[in-house]
Amino acid sequence: MAAYILRRILLMIPTLLGIMAVSFVAVQFAPGGPVERVIAQLQGTDVSATERFSGGGGDFAGAQPGGAPGGDAMSSRYRGAQGLDPAFIAELERQFGFDKPAHERFLLMLKNYLTFDFGRSYFRDIEVLDLVAEKLPVSISLGIWMTLISYLISIPLGIRKAVRDGSRFDAWTSGVIIIGYAVPGFLFAVLLVILFAGGSFFDWFPLRGLTSDNWASLSWPEKILDYFWHLALPITAMVLSAFATTTFLTKNSFLEEIRKQYVLTARMKGLGERQVLYGHVFRNAMMLVIAGFPAAFISSFFAGSLLIEQIFSLDGLGLLGFESVVNRDYPVVFATLYIFSLMGLVISLISDLTYTWIDPRIDFESREV
């Protein structure tokens, strides 16, 4: 097992390097960039992803465009730069690091990332790690509660459907689950806002933030209630379409195990149905479901929550990633890509190791990575 873990860890290095290299090359050919964004701000034509960050913050905020005539070679490289002082454009390139060749910038980025030095956001004037840490509470809150609630619903439901396979209960619950899976979560979110957040009917739940404005003055029981009061609608919208896969995986796993010989033997020995189901079948049937929990948890709060965050005004990682791409905030884009890719690789290894913890008969030493 130690040799397998070592091989997987060593394999992470070229995998991570490849992800970063492909992304870096793609960005080089993408239209626009931070320099063009500053120029657009100066020309008054910039349209940012949101209005929350100040226009042109950071080191270049005090720089002023000159009055050099258009047609300069440096200025003409950037859309809208005609008429700006070439020295001003060169200073922008230096401050963004674009005065160096692409390969030097890539190698410098990798060197800094090895020590988790991700630099500062171009347009927010804050360290990237601090920015990510600031958004994490929202994403972790959405991810952990959505995953836990969906598992708490889908596992008992999947077992029940397996036991009553082919019954009316199995048929109508399958229909409800499929409909819930087919309808996008953001449509549920809009419906919940209309019904319960002051849209057209009731005004029972808040529509902004993770906590109330008077959070600091609340007692700890009131803080807990306030926290879940704000999370109720977004978590409901996410859970309704999240537990279909786990439910059907649980059902099919139990059906496969129930039909095996050892279950028939246990019943012939006189064991009750509940004892057979939870004493013998459960551990084998749940291996795939439980082993996939780490990956399901990570993916739930690192992806797919952008529209939910937008609808309920939750400032999390989904919204941060979208804004960073739209605004060409490359330090944030590459740092989050690096962090999430690294976490994904680590979680993949943890998921494999979880299999061996649940079923020691699995031996990864005997297979190739």
Q: 353 in a domain, yes or no?
A: no
Q: 17 in a domain, yes or no?
A: no
Report the 3 state secondary structure along the chain: CHHHHHHHHHHHHHHHHHHHHHHHHHHHHCCCCHHHHHHHHHHCCCCCCCCCCCCCCCHHHHCCCCCCCCCCHHHHCCCCCCCCCHHHHHHHHHHHCCCCCHHHHHHHHHHHHHCCCCCECCCCCCEHHHHHHHHHHHHHHHHHHHHHHHHHHHHHHHHHHHHCCCCHHHHHHHHHHHHHHHCCHHHHHHHHHHHHECCCCCECCCCCCCCCCCHHHCCHHHHHHHHHHHHHHHHHHHHCCCCHHHHHHHHHHHHHHHCCHHHHHHHHCCCCHHHHHHHHHHHHHCHHHHHCHHHHHHHHHHCCCHHHHHHCCCCCHHHHHHHHHHCCCHHHHHHHHHHHHHHHHHHHHHHHHHHHHHCCCCCHHHCCC
**Residues 177 and 246 reside in one and the same domain:** yes
Q: What is the CATH number of the domain that holds 153?
A: 1.10.3720.10
Q: 347 in a domain, yes or no?
A: no
pLDDT in tens, 61-105: 333 344 333 444 454 566 555 666 678 777 777 777 787 888 888
Q: 20 in a domain, yes or no?
A: no
**Residues 135 and 275 reside in one and the same domain:** yes
**Residues 196 and 57 reside in one and the same domain:** no
Total domain count for the chain? 2
Range of the domain at 279: 129-326
Q: 345 in a domain, yes or no?
A: no
pLDDT in tens, 301-317: 555 577 888 888 888 88
Q: Is the pTM of this model over 0.85?
A: no
Q: 294 in a domain, yes or no?
A: yes
Q: 310 in a domain, yes or no?
A: yes
Mean pLDDT, residues 201-212 taken together: 85
Task: Express as a percent the part of the chain with pLDDT over 90.
Answer: 9
